[in-house]
Structure 1
Amino acid sequence: MGKKKPEVANRAVPSQMPAKKHQHVQKENRKQNEQQSSQPPRTKTEKKPKEKAKRPQNGTAEEINKVPAKKRKLADKQNGNADQIETEDGPQIEKKLDTTKINKGIFAIFNKLQDTNKQNTQKHVNEIIALLTNEAAAEKRTATCAYALKRLVRCTGADDKEAVALNASYINSILRDVPGLDPIELISVLKRELHASSQQKGKEETLAAVGQLITVLAIMQSQYFQQPTAELIAVVYPILIAQLKGREYLVSLCADIMADSFKQVSLASFQSHVWPLLQPELNKPITAQKLHGCDLLLSVHLNYPKLLPLRQLQTMLWRKQTQFEQLFDTYLNNATMQGDGLYARLGKFLATCSSEQVLAAWQQHIAEHLPFKHVTAKSYIIQTLSHVLMHYDDGSRTDMQLEQLFTLEPLVSMLLGELTAAKKLNSKANAKAKAAQRQLRYICRKFETALLVSFQQQLKQDACKLGILRPMLQLQLQLDNIVQTPRFTQQLLAQLGEQGLEQMYEFYSEQFTSNNELLTRTNREHCLKQMQQLQNSRRNKQLEFLLFASLFHLNDQQKPCTADEAAVFSRQAASRCEETLFSCLVNKIGTNTEQLAALNEQLRPLLGQLAKKLSKPGIEGKLRITVTPEMRVMWEKVQKVLNAPVKEKQALAVIFDALILFLGLAMFTPSCNVALDLIDDLFICKQNALKTKQAKDKQRKSAAEAEPNWQEVLTDVLLQLLLQTGHFWRLFVNAIGGALMPHLNKRNLEQFLELLDMDRNPLDDKDWDDDDDKSDEEDEEDEDDDDDEDDDDDEDDEDEDEDEDDEATNLARIREGVRQALLSNENDDFDSSSIDWNDVGEEEGERLNQALERAFHIRKPKGAKGKNAKRQTKSERITDTALLHLRIRVLDLVELFIGAQPQLDIILNALNSIQKVYRISSADTKLQPLAEASKKTLRKLLAQKISYQSPDQDKQPIIDCIKQLLEQNEEQPPLAGPLKQPPKAKGDYVVWRNKCIAYLVSQFNEPNVTASKVWPLLQSFAQDWASRRNSPYQLATFDAIFGSPWIGIGRYAASFYALLSMNLRLFRRVQILELLLKHCRRICNTLTNKLQTAREFHGILNKYEPVADKDRSLQKKLLAQLQKVLTEAEDSA
């Protein structure tokens, strides 16, 4: 079957008339529409006055179905008022529908509306609105408008939901945008076209009733009902009230429309026109009431409390004793999920009712029926609770009923369960879910929004907010894992006051230290994270707790104990406490000495408390690590620094104190594997760094040349600390490095750059082995294990020797194969180097090709050996990952160094190293984090202004650096393993290489550009690129130079203009013209004599003779740009 067209234009409510009669009616309709102005049509009222109350001949069943006289009289009696209006307005409407006065353009637009393409519907509706609005003749405009509304109203009674909604939107658009309409006349047309009694007896009348309600809704949504007149109210509400006796879905739709419309009707109008008609329908006891009758009563009570106060409402529903449970059962026992408006009115009634017993009764009502199994019951509870939250005012109530509501654990459990189920319905699962499940997911999302809005706008007291939040967190600590709203818990906590935050801190602290075995490690870590965010004024107390929780085993009373007596939280989350402790210390720490001094002020009281605790006998056995004699000696040295007077004026003293105190605290944590020798080196470095100048000179003369200075030792210490796990180590080293960089020298930068050398692995060096001596001692103590290890090493050595022998054998075979391949059959005795490759024939070339292919063919390893040869071991993967992270962290130190000391040689050394790192890492998929980090450092380096020692400083190193960068154009970055180069890797590298070249060229800012050292180099680049087909230089390089802030781009552009006069290939000419056109404005702005130079450029271009359409078009565009520049220069002159 084809796609069904929307019910627009001549398509009306489906009829049930016989086929012949239906054809006859359609024929009569066509004849009537085709009549011309010379022969105006005769209206039905003129021809048959007895049938003026019938519909026009539009193909409906009512035209044929003959109603018995008794039933017609009864219907007339019941709808006397409506029939009277219809009878009085009938002739007037019929006159307006005279086809001679209708704009014929409306027919074509209605034909377009039959198109099934929904994208064009709004366009066609706008055409109708424009046609009706722009019509100047009043009679013609009125007739056209009446005709359009008549056809659209007729289609709202169609047996198609989409068509009904579509036509109702058309009516609403016309009512909203076309001025001067009369909604009362539209109601008259509605009654004539869609006749429906209060008790529908067939499908046609039911569809007509739906059309009536939809059209009335369109009127109520227009501006005519914002402040409705008494006449409009008197016409509209009888139609709605008449449908309260119809089918269930009609009653539901009618009740929703009426309940929402009460907001626009004043009390006087409602009391005089609506309530007399509505009260008889609603004045029933609760046993005779249905759901929508109760909804309308609540709506009248909420909108007109003086007209229907609570006591009168109770009297209407309960003749004797008030039982709100009966009212709530009416909502609960409904088998259909209702719209949000119905539950919104119930929730508002519960939250704002003057009687405090109502909300308590609802709580008791749902407590008796929990748990709920049906989706409709869950929907009723969640939606009603959402609107209770939206309207509950905790400032005007003292019953704390809302907090009592959330003490129902089954209710909170049901809420959390539905929130969890709703979040699991992602985009894929949502497509397969049932309609009720999708609707419940939407309801759960609205509950989350309602809770947020309630916290932000409605609730004022922290006690009420905590009464809602804490019961939910007690059942689900990580609330964000089950809700759809991002950062849901943080948004709720942000609405609490200081006392509320204190109570939430205590709550998370209690949960963290709880003995509940059901709390997982993840939940405890989440509590610790929340405590860290809520710390505020409790920071010092929290640091004290984190200190002891990180270093000691703690019991239930949070006192140090042995490992066997440790509480659950101490066993599960001690490592997280350790990380949180140091993260709090270095949080938002800067790179200056003042912030390091603030860090020392935090470390000193913590270490003081630790010293008091460690001074007690037997306390070492309660630590989480085993204390060695070397640690005791080192702790005594740290205590001396701790007790020494603070020297805040000496920057180096502050730096060394921060290092010593931080490492002195970290050496008691299990995760820290920093060698004690490093801390000992810090004391020596501090002593040497703080010596007077005379003492330093004396020591420098007496010390051996091979002995490193304190800067080199301290740099090695920082690099060793970067190997530690934990992000806080990176922050701490960056803070120390930022304050230390002004005191370092070029040799220390080389220490950083050595780790960025991609051709070697610095972690394999013996200098980085911290435990050589310790390993030797362990070897002497455990000889048996060492013998076994030596045996294993011997086996490994034998395997390596075998691999080397196999490799040597393969190389020998390849060498011999190549030699045999290069020797021809005729000249086997001659050396292969005597072959003239230009004289090799086609057959001989094919033979050499096959022979060389066989010579270079190496057998691939088979079986397990082949797999092991390709796959890295676990230790190798760990080493590669550690090296990757180390290099990323070293880039931070390089960035700090060039920011503190931007001298020319330092900038060039860093640029070469970082550019090489990016070239290699961008070509390896496993090194993409390093590529991004190096790109970030390159970006900051290229924005750094170079500091020169003097204006006449030699800039030859810049020239050498430019040449070195250009020589890397054809180099392929070495790849480790079978990884392929990413598609964009080479292009990205070339872009950044060109940026580096442009940055270096821009350093030559001498007034006489042609006399600078870079000028001959750039000229040779341009000449070689223009004259050679396979030049190593690229157009992108010149593009980057012209885009740089170099003051010589104007003079350099003249060289490219001069190239146009040479005998160049068309491709090069087009490239030059495109380059000059792209940067024309920037080039001219840098010229000292703008007018004269622009004329020279213009003259060169005029002499240029294009050879193709491409360069001819570019020549015209460039001439136009230059002409603009000349005009501006002449005007300014």
Structure 2
Amino acid sequence: MEETNGENQSKKFNRTVFDHFEHLISANEKNRIKGSLNILKHFNTVQEKDIEVNHALTRIIRGLGSSTNIPRTGFYTILVALLNFRNDISLSQIFDLMEKHLHKAGSNAKSENADILTGQILACGAIVRSNLWSKTTHEEKLKIVECILTASKERTYQGLLAFEFITNIFEKVEDKDFYALCPLLKDEVSKPLENYTLDSLYLLNNMKKKYPQLPKKLKSVIVYPEVLSEENIGKLCRILMIIPKLSSLQHPVYDIISIEAATSSNLNHFLEELDWYLDIPNRNKLLVATKIYTILLEKLEDVSVVPNILTKNFVHQMLNHFKTLKGKDQDVEFKQSINKFFEQLLEKLKPEDVNSKIKIAVLKKLLFSPGTFIFEKITHSKVVQNITWSLNVDGVKKLVAVYRGVIEGSEIVASQYGHGDYWLNNDKLYAAHLLIKLLNHKAVREENDWKTEQLIFLMELGLLKDTQVRIGSELSASLKTAFFGALNLKLAKLEQLHTILLSVVLHLNSKLTPENLETALRSTITIEQYEIWEKTISIITKIEKKKKKGGLRSVFLTLFLHLALLLFNDAKLAVDSLNELFVCYEKTKKSRKNSEAMDETAVEDASGEDVMWIEVVTDLFLNFLSQNSHLLRNIVNLVFPYLCENMTTSTIQQLVSVLDPENENPLSKGNNHSDEDDSDEESESEKEDESDDSNNEEDDDDDDNDMEDESANDKLRMALQKVLTSNGYQSDEESIDIDQMSDTEGEKLDKALADAFKQFRPNHGKRKKQNEDQRALTHFRVRVLDLIEIYLDSNPSMIITLEIMLPLLKTVEFSVRDEHQAPLLHRLKSCLKKLSNLKKFENTDGVDDAVLCDLLKSLLDKGTKNTWIVQDMREQISHCCIFTIKCSDLLSNAEATPKKVKKRLKNSIVELIRNELDTYFNKRECATPFLVFKNLLKISWDGNLTLVTTILKYLFDANVKVFKKSQGLELVLSFYTNQRYLRSNTEKIREALNESHEEFSNNAITLFKSLCETERKVPSEKFLCNMFKLLVALKTSVLNIECMKWPAIAESVREFMSTVTLSKEAKTAFNKLCACLNVSNIVRHNPVVTSSTNNDEKATKGAKEKKKNKKTKNKEKLKLKKEAKELRLQSLSEGFKSLDFAVADDEVTMETNEESEEDSNNKSKKQKKRKSSENSVEGEKFNDVNTTKKSKKKRKNSENAESGTAIVNGVIESHNKKKKHKT
């Protein structure tokens, strides 16, 4: 063997490859794999270094005995791979290393010995799963098995690991070797079943899996061929249910036993035995049962057994455990386990071929016994609803029969609560609600006769006395409420509702006579009310006999049927409403020209005023909406779409008036605005006077509110002006360039502006909690908005739509101020969005140029009020303005509109917008939202040509603020990116803007050239960025603008860019511009002195201040260190205060005074250094004192006294030296 410098080369280890062993213990799996691959690459290419391989094996074997799983995993993985790659590793080599490095020792702790044995199991397992196993002899195989079995008896958790490897051996050995191995396993599988563990069961099942039909040779070893037999099930369940720790739930034996039990004939016995262990509450047992039941549901073939899985104790324990979960104790593990069980239960019952009897049996288990009607409420699940929703027609009807049995008392009671033979009233009422839900089930959508039968059943229980079901008055009152809730049926056609309600009404009418009202009804009605009932029945019958019942007849029939039944729930409301309906119906009959159409006629009300019938019906609807009744609200929403074509301006105003914020209580019928503090003894005349006064006060309040808004804006403006002037901006004309500010100035200005805005921000709803009346009013207004949205969907007339818009916007302004109006604000925004998106109208009657101009002016006047409110409403104001302009376009394009009106309309609208645009750019106090102009320029409207021409002039106006110019650039950019409009009128737009383009080109060139001059103020980067973007849009526009001087623009822009340094965004815009102009974007930087020099000076000054502040901070740190040192020295010298050395004390005090005077008079660096050196010397002396003190404590008292004297003399000597040194 070749040697170099007397050293054997084969003994040199590759240190680099052994560094990869560190990756084997990494928690990151990718790192472990990477390290293993690197090690394998090395040992796969190097075949001669046996010592290196042996060293690597030693490290791997030792690593298998680690105390944590991550290193074990890494070393086990590399060992298996290495045994597969290397053929020169023998079994004896592995066992030798195991005996040397993985052996138990008496001096080791029990945990260390357990880790060593685990390493032995892993080493043997690596042999089993590698190619080395196939090279072993029969005796060596037995040795490996014996090693695994011996090592697995130290700890319980080692059993599963050992038996997993033995199971792998079963798969690799032949019958002869298997029979030879069985005697080694006999002690584990032949012991009594009550001594079995989960690991023993796992081993037994794997042995049986090898030979399902046990040969004679194995019968002496496997004494329990069938663990699910009648005599063994009890012992088996004990092994499964009583677990040492919760992690045992992950044992694979649960899957094996559950899968076997799913097809066993003893499944029901198995379920009974499991349920027996759940008799006493135990969380672990409940989790075990849940896991087994979940697997059973997944593997079960006979669906009819599913109800049996919901055993009594299991459901009880599940519900009781849910009840204990309160607050933060949510037991996530238990919930996840139960949810998996519910999911598997639903999945098993989901197929359509599952019999409805099975589903109903499951529902009975959950709702009746052993469950409860509030099962879903307790478990926070929807398992009952989902199972119910999967029923077919027959299943729904059978389930309703079950619920009726509960209400009637015929259903057998076997509940956990021990009700005996009677259901509680709560159970019956809950069953009634579940029955009502089934009336809207998708499977019985067309079963109208069956629905009628159920409604009659509920009606008799809630309204009539003479029924076969014995129920108390309390339950009957609840059932009556439930019945009226059941009338809210979801049907495809209104005719189906008529059929059902007519049958119910006629059935009730057959039970009543004027003589038996008190005996037949639970809540009797008066004779007058009964006469109203008879009159209603008569009208209903007449309408029903008509051949054609569409249109208004259908609406009135629906209202009469519902209000007739309402007589027995809210008689006063029903009587008043029916009397109004009688009049309206009679008047519509007289004015009807044919059976399909009705004209609006006036009816004379009690006060003698002529009122349209539709107004009466609308007022009736508002009354219904104000009631706390879901049924009445649904009635209104049901019939209102049929009345939209009859709506007039006055009726819409009725609806919109409810939304008026000034109407504080539209729910009350009277207009009493008197104060609440007024006494009841005051006369009516006094109240009227007070109401008049209050009305006048309200008008004054409105004016005051406007004045407050304006004064608030003025105060805010003055505060901002004060902030800006105090920060170095002396005039209003001086623009603020944020980009050129230093960090210190920016932070200071930010804080000042934030304080100003916080001080003058309006109180957005920070008030007391809403009371019940205010909350009811909010929800009432939301319901009215539902009607307005329904009307907007009915192709309304333009004039009514426009009249709706402003009141809605006014309500938005009110809602923005109050945080409690969030639901109303959300619906208002939705309603306004729907309104602004309308494109078709029934007619344009009543709309002319004056109406649209006045409306648009009113919308734009919103900008003169409170700035904050307007900004919050900017989207709604913008949508409304654009909608108004679109209406003017529709009117202009209508053939019926006169030419003069068309011309006047277009000119007036354009002039109005242009004037507002002038105000926006010229007046600071204009609060018109910028979004109005931006969105307007994005639509296809010819008036935008005038607006763009106006804006282009303001871009270079010296009197316009820079930020307004930046906004103007954004507006023009929005116009030139409006491709839809530009492509539709390319020639027209090019000709109209030709002169403006030339002027813009010259102004742009002049601007950039002037910016290159010395002492010229550079605009903000936002302005420059928008300018570059606009030039790109003009160059790439479909207008193909040729009148602009693009070469001169390119030259001036490049020359300007050579003098400044801009941000990344501005540079990107500049690069795009250069690409469009086909010029290079690379310019030679040649900066000039601009007005930004002042900012540079400020920045330099700020840098000096920072440096000065840094020095100050350093001095403060040194001072703190010095104080800490003095405190430390003082604490070290505390032991000398009891000694009486007055002379020394006086001398020290004098020295201290002299030092302080000298320090105050001298400030030179030499004196400071001298002082610090003196302090250090003094500190050293005191440290010596402290050290001496500690060392002397262990000596005798006489020695302590002597040492104390010496120490004090040392202190005095130190001070004397200091004094001489200073002198």
TM-score, normalised on structure 2? Answer: 0.63
The amino acid of 1:336's aligned partner reads K
Matched, 1:724 2:594: no
Q: Is the alpha carbon distance of 1:170 and 1:733 closer, same or farther for their aligned partners in structure 2, counting shifts above 3 Å?
A: farther
**Matches for 1:733-882 after TM superposition, within 5 Å:** 733-761=636-664, 763=666, 766=669, 792-794=680-682, 877-882=771-776
> Following the alignment from structure 1 to structure 2, what is the Cα–Cα distance between the partners of residues 790 and 642?
48
The SS at the match of 1:490 is: helix
Matched, 1:527 2:434: yes
**Deviation, structure 1 residue 914:** 0.9
Q: Is the alpha carbon distance of 1:503 and 1:889 closer, same or farther for their aligned partners in structure 2, counting shifts above 3 Å?
A: same
Which of the numbers 877, 882, 891 marks the counterpart of 1:993?
877
Structure number with bigger Rg: 2
The match for 1:1061 is: 956
The SS at the match of 1:708 is: strand
**Deviation, structure 1 residue 499:** 4.5
Contact 2:149 / 2:162 at 8 angstroms: preserved in 1? no
The SS at the match of 2:925 is: coil
Which of the numbers 838, 842, 849 marks the counterpart of 1:944?
838
Q: Is the alpha carbon distance of 1:463 and 1:750 closer, same or farther for their aligned partners in structure 2, counting shifts above 3 Å?
A: closer
Which of the numbers 1070, 1087, 1090 marks the counterpart of 2:966?
1070
> Following the alignment from structure 1 to structure 2, what is the Cα–Cα distance between the partners of residues 931 and 946?
26
**Deviation, structure 1 residue 293:** 0.8
The amino acid of 1:488's aligned partner reads V
Map Cα deviations across residues 912-954 of structure 1 (whole Å, 9 max, x no partner).
1111111102211232222222122112111112538579963
Matched, 1:626 2:520: no
Matched, 1:478 2:366: no
**Matches for 1:315-714 after TM superposition, within 5 Å:** 315-316=223-224, 322-337=231-246, 338-340=248-250, 341-353=252-264, 356-357=265-266, 359-366=267-274, 368-394=276-302, 403-404=307-308, 406=310, 408-421=311-324, 424=325, 428-430=328-330, 439-456=333-350, 460-474=354-368, 475-483=371-379, 486-496=381-391, 498-514=393-409, 515-517=422-424, 519=426, 523-524=430-431, 526-532=433-439, 534=441, 536-537=443-444, 540-547=449-456, 549-550=458-459, 553=462, 558-559=467-468, 566=472, 569-579=475-485, 581-584=486-489, 587=490, 595-615=493-513, 618=516, 620-644=518-542, 645-648=545-548, 650-670=550-570, 673-692=572-591, 706-714=609-617
Map Cα deviations across residues 363-420 of structure 1 (whole Å, 9 max, x no partner).
453455452344443343333233223222216xxxx7664554x5334322332344
Contact 1:524 / 1:573 at 8 angstroms: preserved in 2? no
The match for 1:842 is: none
> Following the alignment from structure 1 to structure 2, what is the Cα–Cα distance between the partners of residues 169 and 951?
89
**Deviation, structure 1 residue 740:** 0.8
The match for 2:814 is: 920
The amino acid of 2:929's aligned partner reads Q
> Following the alignment from structure 1 to structure 2, what is the Cα–Cα distance between the partners of residues 566 and 233?
87
Deviates more, 1:1004-1013 or 1:466-475: 1004-1013
> Following the alignment from structure 1 to structure 2, what is the Cα–Cα distance between the partners of residues 402 and 701?
67
The match for 2:1023 is: 1111
Which of the numbers 1025, 1038, 1047 marks the counterpart of 2:933?
1038
Q: Is the alpha carbon distance of 1:336 and 1:1121 closer, same or farther for their aligned partners in structure 2, counting shifts above 3 Å?
A: same
Contact 2:808 / 2:828 at 8 angstroms: preserved in 1? yes
Q: Is the alpha carbon distance of 1:673 and 1:702 closer, same or farther for their aligned partners in structure 2, counting shifts above 3 Å?
A: closer
The match for 1:285 is: 191
> Following the alignment from structure 1 to structure 2, what is the Cα–Cα distance between the partners of residues 1075 and 237?
89
> Following the alignment from structure 1 to structure 2, what is the Cα–Cα distance between the partners of residues 962 and 637?
52
**Deviation, structure 1 residue 1002:** 3.7
**Deviation, structure 1 residue 739:** 0.6
**Deviation, structure 1 residue 1125:** 3.9
Contact 1:509 / 1:527 at 8 angstroms: preserved in 2? no
**Deviation, structure 1 residue 889:** 1.6
Map Cα deviations across residues 292-328 of structure 1 (whole Å, 9 max, x no partner).
1122223444686356899999744699995332333
Deviates more, 1:552-561 or 1:994-1003: 552-561
The amino acid of 1:1089's aligned partner reads T
**Matches for 1:116-135 after TM superposition, within 5 Å:** 121=28, 124=31
The match for 1:77 is: none
Q: Is the alpha carbon distance of 1:366 and 1:1077 closer, same or farther for their aligned partners in structure 2, counting shifts above 3 Å?
A: same
Q: Is the alpha carbon distance of 1:169 and 1:684 closer, same or farther for their aligned partners in structure 2, counting shifts above 3 Å?
A: farther
Map Cα deviations across residues 675-701 of structure 1 (whole Å, 9 max, x no partner).
413212222222222335679999879
The amino acid of 2:681's aligned partner reads D
Contact 1:685 / 1:710 at 8 angstroms: preserved in 2? yes
> Following the alignment from structure 1 to structure 2, what is the Cα–Cα distance between the partners of residues 1050 and 129?
73
> Following the alignment from structure 1 to structure 2, what is the Cα–Cα distance between the partners of residues 625 and 459?
47
Map Cα deviations across residues 331-359 of structure 1 (whole Å, 9 max, x no partner).
34443331333322222222223xx23x3
RMSD: 5.6
Unaligned runs of 5+ in 1: 1-34, 44-97, 431-436, 590-594, 770-788, 809-869, 974-983
Contact 1:1074 / 1:1114 at 8 angstroms: preserved in 2? yes
Map Cα deviations across residues 538-585 of structure 1 (whole Å, 9 max, x no partner).
664444443453465479995488xxx637743544312321x2222x
Contact 2:197 / 2:239 at 8 angstroms: preserved in 1? yes
Q: Is the alpha carbon distance of 1:697 and 1:154 closer, same or farther for their aligned partners in structure 2, counting shifts above 3 Å?
A: closer
Map Cα deviations across residues 610-629 of structure 1 (whole Å, 9 max, x no partner).
11122496354342432112
The amino acid of 2:280's aligned partner reads F
Deviates more, 1:916-925 or 1:332-341: 332-341
TM-score, normalised on structure 1? Answer: 0.67
Contact 1:524 / 1:569 at 8 angstroms: preserved in 2? no
Matched, 1:904 2:798: yes
> Following the alignment from structure 1 to structure 2, what is the Cα–Cα distance between the partners of residues 1033 and 186?
90
Deviates more, 1:895-904 or 1:320-329: 320-329
Contact 2:465 / 2:520 at 8 angstroms: preserved in 1? no
Q: Is the alpha carbon distance of 1:259 and 1:627 closer, same or farther for their aligned partners in structure 2, counting shifts above 3 Å?
A: farther
The match for 1:22 is: none
Which of the numbers 212, 226, 244 marks the counterpart of 1:305?
212
Contact 1:1060 / 1:1104 at 8 angstroms: preserved in 2? no
Deviates more, 1:508-517 or 1:148-157: 148-157
Q: Is the alpha carbon distance of 1:403 and 1:139 closer, same or farther for their aligned partners in structure 2, counting shifts above 3 Å?
A: same
Q: How many residues align?
A: 904
Q: Is the alpha carbon distance of 1:40 and 1:705 closer, same or farther for their aligned partners in structure 2, counting shifts above 3 Å?
A: farther
**Matches for 1:173-192 after TM superposition, within 5 Å:** none
Contact 1:230 / 1:269 at 8 angstroms: preserved in 2? no
Q: Is the alpha carbon distance of 1:321 and 1:652 closer, same or farther for their aligned partners in structure 2, counting shifts above 3 Å?
A: closer
Contact 2:963 / 2:1023 at 8 angstroms: preserved in 1? no
Map Cα deviations across residues 96-126 of structure 1 (whole Å, 9 max, x no partner).
xx855x866x84x7778989xx7xx467568
The SS at the match of 1:489 is: helix
Map Cα deviations across residues 772-820 of structure 1 (whole Å, 9 max, x no partner).
xxxxxxxxxxxxxxxxx999534999999999999x9xxxxxxxxxxxx
> Following the alignment from structure 2 to structure 1, what is the Cα–Cα distance between the partners of residues 390 and 154?
42
**Deviation, structure 1 residue 1022:** 2.2
**Deviation, structure 1 residue 742:** 0.6
Deviates more, 1:517-526 or 1:1114-1123: 517-526
The SS at the match of 1:969 is: helix
The SS at the match of 1:754 is: helix
Map Cα deviations across residues 848-871 of structure 1 (whole Å, 9 max, x no partner).
xxxxxxxxxxxxxxxxxxxxxx99
Deviates more, 1:242-251 or 1:506-515: 242-251
> Following the alignment from structure 1 to structure 2, what is the Cα–Cα distance between the partners of residues 1046 and 1070?
23
Contact 1:1073 / 1:1118 at 8 angstroms: preserved in 2? yes
> Following the alignment from structure 1 to structure 2, what is the Cα–Cα distance between the partners of residues 137 and 525?
78
